[in-house]
Chains A and B, each alone.
Chain A
Amino acid sequence: MSKQYGFYYDAGRCIQCRTCELACKSTHNTEPGVKWRRVTETWSGSYPDVTRTFFSLACMHCEKPACVEVCPTGAIRKRVEDGIVVVDRDKCNGCQDCLPACPYGVPQFGKDGKMQKCDFCTEIGSEPACVASCPAEALYSGTLDELLEMTTGKATKRMDGTTKPSVIIVS
């Protein structure tokens, strides 16, 4: 889908400063315990030969979103115009079936029990707050074509996955 929008993430530049987490949190005023974007980390090796890598995760806005397939009320849909996956909280019945279905653990649930997650800042109609905020220039957004064409001098590729996540990563 040439109009598929998504994120570009450069793990080599991400410093886990959490600016993206807080930009998202304060823009959308998500409640305590709910993070539409979070920076995870993976350790490997053993001291002193350890490695520590980060991943800034929001929603992958997958080409074949498992959450949409599994949702019994049709509350989750993939927008035709830009491929962004959004949830209508009025239609959501709080069954949480989407959570185990998503390979990335994206769906979040707050006090009202309804699913909520990254909507690419489409509801507020702006560039994703996380992307605008990143001080390390590790995070970008755009159509997948645009992101693949970005001249960073680095080899990039689309992230692998059965649900075809709309994320370009540095390989």
Chain B
Amino acid sequence: MKESPINRGKLCPKAYASVQWLYSPQRLKYPLKRVGEKGEGKFERVTWDEALNIIAVKLQEQKEKYGPESLAVLSPQHRTYKDYFIRFLTVHGSPNYGHSGICAMQRAFSFAYTMGTPMASADYEHADLIIVWTANPVYAGTPMGTIKRILDAKERGAKLIVIKPEMQPDAAKADMWVPIRPGTNAALALAMLNVIINENLYDAEFVSQWCYGFDKLVPHIQKYTPEWAEPITGLPAYQIREVARLYGKAKSACILAGNAFDQNIDSNNAVRAVAILIAISGNLDRPGGNIVPMGSTMPLLKSIKPWERYTKDLIDKLVGPEMPTCFQPFIEGASSAYYHCLNSVLTEEPYPIKAIIAPGTQPAVITRNSKMVVEALKKLEFLVVIDVMQNSSMPWADIVIPVTTMYECDHPFEAPPMGMGHWIMARNKVIEPLGDYKSDYQFWLDLAVKMGYEKDFWHGSIEECMNYQLENFGMTIDELRTHPTGIMYQPKPMVYEKYNEIFAATSSRISKAPYLPQGKVAIYNTTFEEQGVNPLPEWVEPPESPTGTPELLAKYPLVFFDTHTSDVYNHGWLRNIPYLRESQPDPWIHIHPDTAKARGVGDGDWVIVESPHGWIKVKALYFPGIRPDTIMGLHGWWQGCDELGLPGYPLLDGGANVNILYNTDPKKAFDPLVTAMPKQTLVEVRKAENIV
């Protein structure tokens, strides 16, 4: 609908396939209870009430036997129902909200502890130069405005630089495509700092007034020359220099840093280096740079996250902290890394998780080391899978809970995420649920009531819960419904350079210490230094890379990475949707034609891609706009499409699941501050013989 400021009535290709999603034959129609062995995938139908009773009895049992922390909830991608289960976990007594460890929070953390704010949005409308660095605003959030704003800025005369290993459609629009080798963003950022500092392209006044530790950065950065960065990034030194100069000399320049910054062990270093670039170039909270938005006159929705219940005792029980416990809770609440929740089942260190509830997430295809995940799901005492559609974790589930799509649900609200918005609308139901199920929100309320937590959960009433959240609006949900297209509020006029305010922000951790102890940009980070981490950003090699592990190149000469986004798919879903599957019928890799021909691989041939950790079978698609030393794949392939007669694929070796390819060595594959496991490794590609 045009009245929504989120998309102004535009959609993306996946949304246009919604009718097939809603009415898919693979929709989960009623709750299921396992009969037979785990892994057999044999279920019998039960009612919603019976299913929840089984879950409640089990959780109560385990709470008494193992402690409430033995329950983990694995996080879906960002959903408004996350607050409901984070509340449930906390009230239950578990801190183990298993956030992915490879998305958004990784950037937010390092940005917050360097420049005082978890996010500084690119001010495209006023920028002379826009740098899109690994992000993909074409496939992700297509109608939400970012790519349109970038195109408009280009037409206004702004220059666009896109830094990523493959020429995705946004790079096709760039004035300069910088084809960086995967996993090397920190090296490029450090080399850019070297040029900008040594060529005096930084804002000396801002640095002297608002930055702490610049004098220590200067000698530290000397070794990170463009010539040093060249073999690591695969970019010619002159190009690195050119990008640095363009950024340093631009009157105003902004950077959109994408998910790849969350998915490599150089994460905290890379993000810190980018934050320092934004700061010392004089682009922080200035027109055309990276700005901290002002918000709007819209009242704040009351959060249902139980911040007051986070205690040191509770935090200390995290089975595998996503960030060190001294930094918790971070902005979403306390969190363990998704990977560690699963791995603890096998290692039993520091203790084993005994129950996992997995809403809208598919551990077997979405986190690293799927072999470990499948073993963990087999061994796990109790698994609840919650989804709209059949999903890849189901074979190991004890209970499967179907839930509504947004079309079958009239709660809670539509509102731009994370307090950034100026519009709110009551959600409208389009049709009645197609089976015996309710919404995700109602699941957590109902389960809470069954567990005896009703006093903390509005006695299971979603209306009362919504009215609680709307308190600051001075209206009830019924009153909000009288505005069929919602209520718009005025954005507050932008105030730039509000450094006193930004740099004074307190963190959400138990100590409530400020992000920036000096009240200035933490170029030299004393907070991290106290934790034994280098106070200045440095280069860290991924576990497998041409420059870090050259001994592997003889057997695995190519770099493999996977892209986070797709035009027609979303993570592990949508391969069963005919409208979408016909655009991308087979799991694929993009390979440079020369690289393929050197291996006797034709365009469209099936190939084996093998890393030191596993192998997959996919279709090789010739792609002229990719580094010849690099192969790109897409994660989330497991499902068939019955209507098109297209198969599914095994989850492990010989399937199409890229997450079996990567290193997960506890000593090598984790950023010490933010988890951030790599989605990049070394591989060889060969034509698949006609094997079954």
CA gap between A26 and B169 in the complex, in Å: 23
Instruction: Give the Cβ gap from B310 to chain A, nearest Cβ, in Å.
Output: 40
Which chain B residues in 1-24 approach chain A with CB under 8 Å?
7, 10-14, 16-20
Interface contact A53-B172, CB-CB below 8 Å: yes
Instruction: Give the Cβ gap from B286 to chain A, nearest Cβ, in Å.
Output: 27
Interface contact A15-B147, CB-CB below 8 Å: yes
Interface contact A25-B179, CB-CB below 8 Å: no
User: A residues within 8 A CB of B579?
Assistant: 22, 25-26
User: B residues within 8 A CB of A136?
Assistant: 147-148, 151
Which chain B residues in 518-576 approach chain A with CB under 8 Å?
567-568
Whether A158 sits at the interface, judged by CB under 8 Å, is: no
Whether A48 sits at the interface, judged by CB under 8 Å, is: yes
Instruction: Give the Cβ gap from A36 to chain B, nearest Cβ, in Å.
Output: 13
Cross-interface CB contact of B13 among A17, A43, A48, A137, cutoff 8 Å? A17
CA gap between A84 and B427 in the complex, in Å: 40
Whether A52 sits at the interface, judged by CB under 8 Å, is: yes
Stretch at the interface among B27-35, B138-146, B225-233: B138-146
Interface contact B624-A50, CB-CB below 8 Å: yes
Interface contact A16-B138, CB-CB below 8 Å: yes
Interface contact A26-B624, CB-CB below 8 Å: no
Interface contact A135-B151, CB-CB below 8 Å: no
Interface contact B13-A47, CB-CB below 8 Å: no
Instruction: Give the Cβ gap from B585 to chain A, nearest Cβ, in Å.
Output: 9
B contacts with A, residue count (CB < 8 A): 41
Cross-interface CB contact of A19 among B142, B167, B177, cutoff 8 Å? B142
Interface contact A16-B567, CB-CB below 8 Å: yes
Cross-interface CB contact of B16 among A25, A50, A153, cutoff 8 Å? A25
Instruction: Give the Cβ gap from B230 to chain A, nearest Cβ, in Å.
Output: 14
CB closest chain-A residue, reference B20: A26
CA gap between A137 and B138 in the complex, in Å: 13
User: B residues within 8 A CB of A32?
Assistant: 578, 582, 643-644
Whether B619 sits at the interface, judged by CB under 8 Å, is: no
Whether B690 sits at the interface, judged by CB under 8 Å, is: no
Whether B665 sits at the interface, judged by CB under 8 Å, is: no
Interface contact B625-A47, CB-CB below 8 Å: yes
CB closest chain-A residue, reference B156: A153
User: B residues within 8 A CB of A33?
Assistant: 582
CA gap between A61 and B540 in the complex, in Å: 57
User: B residues within 8 A CB of A48?
Assistant: 177, 179
Which chain B residues in 449-493 approach chain A with CB under 8 Å?
none
Interface contact B625-A19, CB-CB below 8 Å: no
Cross-interface CB contact of B624 among A18, A25, A46, A53, cutoff 8 Å? A46
Interface contact A16-B167, CB-CB below 8 Å: no
Instruction: Give the Cβ gap from A119 to chain B, nearest Cβ, in Å.
Output: 18
Interface contact A21-B13, CB-CB below 8 Å: yes
A: interface residue count bin: 20 to 34
Whether A133 sits at the interface, judged by CB under 8 Å, is: yes
CB closest chain-A residue, reference B145: A135
Which chain A residues in 1-38 approach chain B with CB under 8 Å?
12-13, 15-19, 21-23, 25-26, 32-33
CA gap between A167 and B143 in the complex, in Å: 25
User: B residues within 8 A CB of A47?
Assistant: 179, 592, 624-628
Interface contact A18-B625, CB-CB below 8 Å: no
Instruction: Give the Cβ gap from B253 to chain A, nearest Cβ, in Å.
Output: 22
Whether A126 sits at the interface, judged by CB under 8 Å, is: no
Cross-interface CB contact of B567 among A17, A50, A51, cutoff 8 Å? A17
Whether B38 sits at the interface, judged by CB under 8 Å, is: no
Instruction: Give the Cβ gap from A161 to chain B, nearest Cβ, in Å.
Output: 24
Given contacts A16-B138, A16-B567, A52-B625, contact A133 B10 (CB under 8 A): yes
Q: Which of A13, A32, A134 has the most CB of B within 10 A?
A: A32
Whether A55 sits at the interface, judged by CB under 8 Å, is: no
Interface contact A137-B148, CB-CB below 8 Å: yes
Instruction: Give the Cβ gap from A3 to chain B, nearest Cβ, in Å.
Output: 28
CA gap between A16 and B14 in the complex, in Å: 14
CB closest chain-A residue, reference B179: A48
User: B residues within 8 A CB of A109?
Assistant: none
Whether B173 sits at the interface, judged by CB under 8 Å, is: yes
CB closest chain-A residue, reference B141: A135
Whether B583 sits at the interface, judged by CB under 8 Å, is: yes
User: A residues within 8 A CB of B205?
Assistant: none
Instruction: Give the Cβ gap from A51 to chain B, nearest Cβ, in Å.
Output: 7
Interface contact A133-B11, CB-CB below 8 Å: yes
Interface contact B567-A135, CB-CB below 8 Å: no
CA gap between A153 and B156 in the complex, in Å: 10
CA gap between A7 and B686 in the complex, in Å: 45
Which chain A residues in 120-171 approach chain B with CB under 8 Å?
133-137, 153-154
Interface contact A19-B172, CB-CB below 8 Å: no
Given contacts A32-B644, A43-B625, contact A52 B12 (CB under 8 A): no
CA gap between A45 and B624 in the complex, in Å: 9
Whether B155 sits at the interface, judged by CB under 8 Å, is: yes
By a beta-carbon cutoff of 8 Å, the part of chain B in contact with chain A is 7, 10-14, 16-20, 138-139, 142-143, 147-148, 151, 155, 167, 169-170, 172-173, 177, 179, 567-568, 578-580, 582-583, 592, 624-628, 643-644
For the complex with contacts A18-B583, A19-B16, A48-B177, 4 further pairs of A-B residues with Cβ separation under 8 Å are: A12-B155, A16-B169, A22-B14, A53-B172
11 A-B pairs, CB-CB below 8 angstroms?
Answer: A12-B173, A15-B142, A15-B173, A17-B567, A18-B583, A23-B11, A33-B582, A47-B624, A47-B627, A52-B167, A54-B172
